[in-house]
Amino acid sequence: MTEEHSADAASGVVVAPPANGRRTFLAVLVNTAAANVTTSFLWFALTFWVYLETRSVLATGIVGGAYMLLLAVFAMVFGSLVDRHRKHRVMVVSGVVTLVAFLLAGALWLALPETALLDLGAPWFWAFSGIILGGAVIENLRNIALSTTVTLLVPVERHANANGLVGTVQGLAFVVTSVFSGLSVGFLGMGWTLAIAIVLTLVALVHLLTIRLPEARPSAAADGTPLVDLRGAMRAVRAAPGLFALIVFSTFNNLIGGVYMALMDPYGLELFRIEIDGRVYDAEVWGIVLAISATGFIIGGGLVARFGLGRNPIRTMLWIVMAMGVLGAVFTLREWWWLYGLGIWVYMALIPPVEAAEQTVIQKVVPFETQGRVFGFAAAFESAAAPVTSFLIAPIAQFLIIPYMNDDAGRAGWGWLLGEGQSRGIALVFLGAGIVMVVVAALAFATRSYRVLSTQYRSAEPRTPASASGPGGQLDDDVVDSRGGVVPQSDER
């Protein structure tokens, strides 16, 4: 490393990422996308399978809500682990644990009849679903690590574009997942679907082992940092005025997300149910619809990757959250397949800018050494919103709203607005959630926190890691050259 770079590291001035950082980041991004595809493939398939076999909105709501609740519980642990260990090692451990979980689920499938696994009153259903759920949750450890690699490998002025690229890849993953989850459950069954997920998880893990990151051993690994460093995360959040408000703003998106989590799949499976020659096609058709609508995710992420988020990502995020609320209020007003499909497409296009806005701000105002804890804290806070609404809305919809909208009183009271159909109860829930989302996001514009956060983002000095061998860290196997790149060393020392 040159003398100039050393001085910069000591003074905390921004130091350029490695010369080959973009190529390495793309390799990590593609690998993480493959892992996300696999876990989402199995998770979507599980949701489809449970609903189609039980027709229980309550079961899908509990399973989906439990996923988000576990993310909230473990996000702080994940963030601390990312800060305490090298990012590559964290990703490898995540892949191994996910693979073991899916293997255990496969063993249960082979050991028990399908009827036992579908008995909601028996422990085997919850054990089987819980193990798959655990593997999917652990895989999210990689996503927190991925957010920090943007800071490690990408120049600060390109952070928003890199985060948009993450959204684009996630959209591609969603397209693949949506199609093949439905087709796999419909044509192959849950057993073969689980087997495919196990194989793909193993392939992604082997590929990950071939990637090397130019990173130091984090100083947090030796400074006595606790496994769940809530105090350290809070210090890092408070150090950036308005950052906590950003996390609250991002939570708005998850509030309506909990409603979608509980009710979107049941609504779609009913709306896109086709019978041909006595054979019912629902998971297959719904999977294809989700895949087509997920191209909106690709468009949204691609636009962020190309144009960024503007001068004030926080303002951009709030406007988009308001648009999501309007969308949620209107896209089920009539039981028209094209209205629902178009609405989901637009909703998917709006997700990447919201997520990229939060990540871009954190990557700029939070030091690299504590970004894992801050991303974990944010994930815990935001993930808690969705299961709350999911757990609340699933039983309310199942036992109160859906029966009410299916009787004469409900049709007479709301038919003028929601029309006729089998899923008008779900439509009423979407309408209410969308209106609440618009009101809350609009009020956020008037808060002092919004103004403080906007000023903080514009005036903050970019925060990037000094280098792989800067203060507080050291490389075990490599050294850094004068451009910030990594030069592998021979075994002879």
- Tens of each residue's pLDDT in the chain, 493 residues: 333 333 333 333 344 566 677 788 888 888 988 888 888 888 888 887 887 777 776 777 777 667 777 877 787 788 888 888 888 898 999 999 999 999 999 999 999 888 888 887 778 888 898 899 889 888 888 888 888 888 788 877 778 888 887 767 766 666 677 667 777 887 888 889 999 999 999 999 999 998 888 777 776 554 555 656 667 677 777 777 677 777 777 776 676 777 776 788 788 888 887 777 777 767 678 877 877 887 888 888 888 888 888 888 888 888 998 998 899 899 989 888 899 989 989 988 888 888 888 888 887 777 777 778 788 777 777 767 766 676 777 788 888 888 888 888 888 888 888 888 778 888 898 898 889 888 888 888 888 878 887 887 777 665 555 444 444 444 344 433 333 333 333 333 3
State which CATH number among 3.40.225.10, 3.40.50.720, 1.20.1250.20, 1.10.150.650 fits the domain covering 17-214+229-467. Answer: 1.20.1250.20
- What is the pLDDT, as a whole number, of residue 460? 63
The Cα–Cα gap between 385 and 488 comes to: 45
Distance CA 21, CA 291 (A): 32
Q: What's residue 462's pLDDT? A: 56
Supply the pLDDT for residue 470: 43
Torsion of CA 97, 102, 107, 111, to 10 degrees: 140
Place of tokens 């703003």: 249
Angstrom distance (rounded) from CA 55 to CA 335: 19
CB atoms inside a 10 Å sphere around CB 483: 14
Report pLDDT for 57: 67
Whether the CB-CB separation of 236 and 367 falls below 8 Å is answered with yes
**Phi, psi for 478 (deg, rounded to 5):** -135, 165
Q: Would you state the pLDDT for residue 467?
A: 46
Q: At what angle do helices 21-54 and 243-271 cross, to 10 degrees?
A: 40
Task: Please state the pTM of the whole predicted model.
Answer: 0.66
Calpha distance 389→75 (Å, rounded): 19
3-state secondary structure 184-208: HHHHHHHHHHHHHHHHHHHHHHHHH
What are φ and ψ of residue 371, in 5° steps? -65, -35
Rounded Cα gap, residues 416 and 437, in angstroms: 23
